[in-house]
Structure 1
Amino acid sequence: MKGLIGPLVLLGLLVGLTAFLLWTPAVAPHIGDYIRLAEARTHLSSSVRGLEALAGRDDGVGWQARSDLGRWYLAQGAAREAAALFRSALALYATSDLRADLAVALEASGRPGDALGEWQQLLPRRDAVQAVLRIEPDPVRAASILTRGGAATDALATLAAVGGTQAALERARALAATGKLTEALVEFERFLSSSPGDAGVHLEYGRALERAGALDRALLAYRAAGAAGAYAAGLLLESLGREDDALAAYRQSAEPEAKWRAARLLESSGRTPEALVLYGELARGAHRVGDDAALRLYLLHTRRGEPTKAAEARRYLSPALAWLAGVPVPAPALTSDPPRASPPVVSLATDLVQAFPGADGRRWAEIELAIAAARGTAADRLAIGEWYVAQGDWRNAFRMGSLVLGSLPCRRAYHLAYPLAWWDTVLRWAGTYGVDPYLVLAVIREESGFLPTAVSSSDARGLMQLLPSTARWIAEEKLRIPYREADLFAPDYNIRLGTWYLRHLLDQFGGDLAWAVAAYNGGPGNLRRWTADGVASPADLPAALRSPETREYLTKVLNAWLTYRWLYGGE
């Protein structure tokens, strides 16, 4: 391997230098350091001292110099020096390729354990998979690392000829991760026959059994897991209609979601005082069920004619759930905007984009801005976010605004954290399909964080996170327009399909915005099943949602929608 490092790295540098030099130097004075950097990169072997001087800087020039100098040292066989440079560059601005360079340098300098730690963060990249297999001599440990890193198929190949109970366990995990449940169950049983007291593995085994449809056996496995399996047992028992047994199981668990389900069962069986105790405990906590518990607490006290207790519970309501309950939602408390100032890095970013058209200028600008934002004041971050707005980069504007909003809830931060992203497009399709444009933006914000190229673990794509199958159905069967999967990453196309789907859900659920939002995340079929017994009022909808993710999603989207309406004057 060491024999290949030098030629490969030097080839990469030559390709990079060729691309770098294809520009016309009509440049502003304060990017002269980038010109000197380019000259030093052109003649690396004779300009190492120049690069070393630039590498001492804690800005984009320093980052690029450290990265290039590290690759040059690595090509010369000075892996230890290269690793130090790569690590210091990562401290300024982290990229996956730079982390891979560091891992290569660490391995070449005789530090395989440190290299393995870096490669694990890059899984399931192919070079990371190959590095894990190369560095970790124990196939069982290697398989464990690969499965946890999302490379379960490679883990199975690694364990193909390995015996023993620990190998059986890792094989079971990898098989379960790839959906081969029948084979996974055999391996789990092999492990448990020799380690019957492992509660954590009993829980994993139970989940695999439940996925395979072996519900009675899954229940036995959950019970064998003790308190660790109590929540899973409760969910399964409740789905089977065994509510008393489910309640008993939930009471054995310390998980907030288990306490929430216990409170729901108590309430539905008429044991309201006991339910109120659990709701009160959850409402005062910091976990995600706190919002929903506060709403139940408020509604129950109101319906029981206990206004003092209801007022106490009302203090814990988020804006979204207060709105559902018909409680007036006050405007957010604002701090004053800091004085407008443009830090030098903003001008530098503009000049870099203009002087180096193409990917290099944009990349260097983003690096400079990221380093400055990490060290700057709230005012600096606001200026950086506003620069991104001017560039039409809504993702980075949103990130800057969100970063500031936590410590300085001023109007400028709100405008960045809740931007009118792709506003003309949103207005066009929202108007066409009769959807509140602020709802469209709220869904985009929660689904993708304004990243057009977002892809979820379930393969949902683009700004509004549409599954390819759903998008094809909308495009070809409903809108009668061509479907191209690559177009899901185009904002106009994705927003059009996603906005149509919101209209479709609104129509299915009587125009109720909250129901449509819940269906967007949980699916209309699931929503109908969860609410089959009826929902007394709009405020009772969150409690009917069996999916914790959907309950949380509903709250987040409604909060964002309310914020958009407040910020931009929606009625």
Structure 2
Amino acid sequence: GSLRARGWYATARCRIELKDFPLAFLALDALDQDSGRPAEWTADLLMLRAAALDQGGAPEQAWPLFRRLWVEFPTSPPAGQAEALILGPDSERFVAAGVAPVITEQDRLDRVDRLLGQAAYSRALREIEPLIEAEVSPEQEAALRWRRAKALSGLRRYSAAAAEYERIFKLSGESDVEAAYQMARTWDRMDRQHQARAAYQEVWTRFPQSDQARWSLFSAGRAHQLDLEHEEASRLFELLVFTYPGPEPADEALFQLGWMRYLDRRYPEALAFFQQVPLRPQDAAFNARALYWQARAWDRMGRAEPAQALRQELVEQYPDSAYSYLARHFAGLALLPWPPPAGGSPPGALTQGPLDLGVVENLISLGLVLDAREEVSWQERRGATFSPAAALQISRAFLAAGEYFLAQRRVQLSFGPRLASYQAPDRELWELAYPWAFPEAVSQQSARAALDPRLVLALIRAESTYRPTIRSSAGALGLMQIMPATGRRIARSLEERNFETERLQEPELNIRFGCYHLRQLLDRYRIRTGRSASPSAADLILALAAYNAGERRVEEWRRRFEKFHLGPDEFIEQIPFSETRTYVKRVLAFYQIYSLLYPQL
């Protein structure tokens, strides 16, 4: 299996070091024929073959491989080595060998595209600049500026990105609808609503038959809505519903029409719109939201009976949603016994006897978890499929080894549709998908910060899916995704000596810092809202929004919507940033699931 592939890989490296190139090529050929080899090895294998050819006296055969490395794998370490060989002083060797070491403009464009695809935006931007400065046709310039705009957007340099999209639009003779749409979206991201609305209007009035027109109409309506211009927002949403009927975004426009009437305390009208929102197949969060706000509209109208009936339907149909959490905390609904208690009969496919997985289980039992993971991946790449019993056995083994990400991933891959449709009644499947991860650190640090450990686990799942060494594109690190600056501030507060940023990838320290940070946010909002008791679900919603978007923005949003006297659940829907709005709902949904699975706490 995978061990044999790794053996060939090690053999190739050793034979090249020993200048034994025939045996090196034998090992590399064996790897080329192994369909189970990891894709991430491709760059290393190219480098090994190119080095063997170069050192073995065939630089003319090595050159195309070095060039391919530089173009197709620009972020890999071998690409840096290849660059030094083909673009540095050593490139003269290839000339002497009769090779014309030419990097074409298309090579450079392909390399930039791969840098963009791998989110290496700074490097992509540096390599685009000289290409733009060269003399090119208007069509070529537009293509280059598209790449530059993407890099600038990835770096969150939105003002410069908007200027690029405007240039592209003009270069196209004002016919490129996607450039106009992206310019509007970029203004929107900068919270420059006046420019965004004007740009969105340009799209739907000039290009009414395009796909971007309906989304521009929706986004313009949403911009007016967030600026509290409900009359104009309603006009645009109604125009969208009648002009572009069907699914997205017309169904979302229907909800927003109801939502604005709800905020304006026109509850019968709000209810009528909420009831018109069509349910989406396979979108539990969308459907749960419609049910929840129908219930809240009935509440506001003083009709407790239909409101309670809708909430009961909500928690039965969508028990693991954020809206079930809200119904439980703000309407007093009790936790339902879901999934069935431990010890219930699993589905038939899971009642099979132990499956002999041989190498995988032995590797895990020896503590060689990464080798076990690679063996599983190797078998999958070769086309193997796992029976439900095998998948369950693998997940159990990873869980026992403390590899929580791998345990839940295997369950999600094998049982995802059943979990999503709540057709997996076995509690063990849910406990593997939502494990009690890092039990000692979570228990100790949550107790130290006076937090519910289930909340801490929900946040860990939302932030990192239990991966201790993960690093976000913004630089946040570890299980609870602590930014380096936040980590340094917390280290000073906790008098943590010898703190270095990389230590945020240590599970115990990251959980301690994350719990401390969340506890501080909860306490601040408890004080600001005047509640003297321990932090409530209302404080939690504000704290989670601040954990994701920052306290300054949360305070700005609260001031902006102060006239509506929003309740905590209403505040969630009004959060302007879709990323933060989704994040808060995700954490609450995961908290709901952990509360259902581990109610004894």
* 1:99-118 alignment, distance < 5 Å: 101=45
Q: Is this contact kept in 1: 2:324–2:592, CA < 8 A?
A: no
Alignment partners' CA distance in 1, 2:572 and 2:581: 6
Q: Which moved more, 1:294-303 or 1:426-435?
A: 294-303
Q: Is this contact kept in 2: 1:394–1:450, CA < 8 A?
A: yes
Aligned twin of 2:405:
395
* Secondary structure at the counterpart of residue 553 of structure 1: helix
The counterpart of 1:383, out of the listed 393, 418, 423, is 393
Q: Kindly indicate whether structure 1 or structure 2 has the higher relative contact order, using CA contacts under 8 Å at least 6 residues apart.
A: 2
Aligned twin of 2:495:
480
CA 176–446 in structure 1, closer or farther in 2 if over 3 Å, else same:
closer
CA 487–257 in structure 1, closer or farther in 2 if over 3 Å, else same:
farther
Cα offset for 1:435?
0.8
Cα offset for 1:69?
3.3
Aligned twin of 1:426:
442
CA 439–296 in structure 1, closer or farther in 2 if over 3 Å, else same:
same
The counterpart of 1:336, out of the listed 309, 321, 345, is 345
Is 1:529 the equivalent of 2:498? no
Aligned twin of 1:512:
536
CA 494–541 in structure 1, closer or farther in 2 if over 3 Å, else same:
same
Cα offset for 1:94?
4.1
* 1:268-307 alignment, distance < 5 Å: 268-282=263-277, 284-286=279-281, 287=283, 288-304=285-301, 305=303, 307=305
Alignment partners' CA distance in 1, 2:257 and 2:549: 22
- Report the TM-score when normalising by structure 1: 0.73
The counterpart of 2:167, out of the listed 185, 190, 203, is 190
Alignment partners' CA distance in 2, 1:47 and 1:16: 7
CA 467–248 in structure 1, closer or farther in 2 if over 3 Å, else same:
farther
CA 181–445 in structure 1, closer or farther in 2 if over 3 Å, else same:
closer
Aligned twin of 2:40:
96
Q: Is this contact kept in 2: 1:446–1:556, CA < 8 A?
A: yes
The counterpart of 2:29, out of the listed 69, 89, 105, is 69
The counterpart of 2:597, out of the listed 563, 567, 570, is 567
Cα offset for 1:489?
0.3
Cα offset for 1:436?
1.0
The counterpart of 1:435, out of the listed 447, 451, 471, is 451
Q: Which moved more, 1:197-206 or 1:314-323?
A: 314-323
Is 1:244 the equivalent of 2:231? yes
- 1:243-276 CA-partner distances (Å, limit 9, x unpaired): 3223333445542554444332232234434433
The counterpart of 2:579, out of the listed 549, 561, 567, is 549
The counterpart of 1:349, out of the listed 339, 355, 360, is 360
Aligned twin of 1:324:
326
Q: Which moved more, 1:326-335 or 1:388-397?
A: 326-335
Cα offset for 1:521?
2.6
Cα offset for 1:434?
0.8
Alignment partners' CA distance in 1, 2:587 and 2:41: 34
Aligned twin of 1:448:
464
Is 1:156 the equivalent of 2:129? yes
Cα offset for 1:15?
6.7
Alignment partners' CA distance in 1, 2:189 and 2:585: 29
Alignment partners' CA distance in 2, 1:126 and 1:47: 21
Cα offset for 1:439?
1.1
- Report the TM-score when normalising by structure 2: 0.70
- 1:97-136 CA-partner distances (Å, limit 9, x unpaired): 237758999xx99x99xx89x987x6755767989x9587
* Secondary structure at the counterpart of residue 190 of structure 1: helix
Query: Partner letter of residue 29 of structure 2?
Result: L
Q: Is this contact kept in 1: 2:277–2:290, CA < 8 A?
A: yes
Alignment partners' CA distance in 2, 1:464 and 1:375: 33
Aligned twin of 2:487:
471
- 1:338-389 CA-partner distances (Å, limit 9, x unpaired): 33744322x423544678x8xxx55442222345676111221111111112
Q: Is this contact kept in 2: 1:474–1:497, CA < 8 A?
A: yes
Query: Partner letter of residue 219 of structure 1?
Result: R
Alignment partners' CA distance in 1, 2:252 and 2:228: 18
Cα offset for 1:429?
1.0
Alignment partners' CA distance in 2, 1:145 and 1:162: 23
Q: Is this contact kept in 2: 1:530–1:545, CA < 8 A?
A: yes
Cα offset for 1:506?
1.9
Cα offset for 1:525?
3.2
* Secondary structure at the counterpart of residue 477 of structure 2: coil
- 1:174-217 CA-partner distances (Å, limit 9, x unpaired): 44444555554554333322431322211212234455676543
Query: Partner letter of residue 168 of structure 2?
Result: F
Q: Is this contact kept in 1: 2:339–2:597, CA < 8 A?
A: no
Cα offset for 1:147?
3.6
Aligned twin of 2:244:
none
Cα offset for 1:443?
1.0
**Structure 1: runs of 5 or more not aligned:** 1-9, 20-41, 52-67, 72-81
Aligned-pair RMSD on alpha carbons?
4.2
Alignment partners' CA distance in 2, 1:142 and 1:389: 40
Q: Which moved more, 1:543-552 or 1:135-144?
A: 135-144
Query: Partner letter of residue 536 of structure 2?
Result: D
Q: Is this contact kept in 1: 2:15–2:24, CA < 8 A?
A: no
Aligned twin of 2:95:
none
Alignment partners' CA distance in 2, 1:556 and 1:423: 22
Alignment partners' CA distance in 2, 1:307 and 1:426: 41
Aligned twin of 2:183:
205
Alignment partners' CA distance in 2, 1:207 and 1:537: 29
* Secondary structure at the counterpart of residue 133 of structure 2: coil
CA 344–93 in structure 1, closer or farther in 2 if over 3 Å, else same:
farther
- 1:158-185 CA-partner distances (Å, limit 9, x unpaired): 3331433332342444444445555545
Alignment partners' CA distance in 2, 1:213 and 1:568: 41
Q: Is this contact kept in 2: 1:142–1:155, CA < 8 A?
A: no
Q: Is this contact kept in 1: 2:197–2:220, CA < 8 A?
A: yes
Query: Partner letter of residue 376 of structure 2?
Result: L
Q: Is this contact kept in 2: 1:295–1:321, CA < 8 A?
A: yes
Alignment partners' CA distance in 2, 1:422 and 1:313: 34
CA 18–426 in structure 1, closer or farther in 2 if over 3 Å, else same:
farther
Alignment partners' CA distance in 2, 1:366 and 1:11: 18
Alignment partners' CA distance in 1, 2:180 and 2:574: 30
Aligned twin of 2:199:
221
Q: Is this contact kept in 1: 2:291–2:310, CA < 8 A?
A: no
* Secondary structure at the counterpart of residue 479 of structure 2: coil
* Secondary structure at the counterpart of residue 461 of structure 1: coil
Query: Partner letter of residue 345 of structure 2?
Result: S
- 1:267-318 CA-partner distances (Å, limit 9, x unpaired): 2234434433443344622444333332111111233227347624652454
Alignment partners' CA distance in 1, 2:406 and 2:574: 36
Cα offset for 1:234?
2.8
Cα offset for 1:219?
2.6
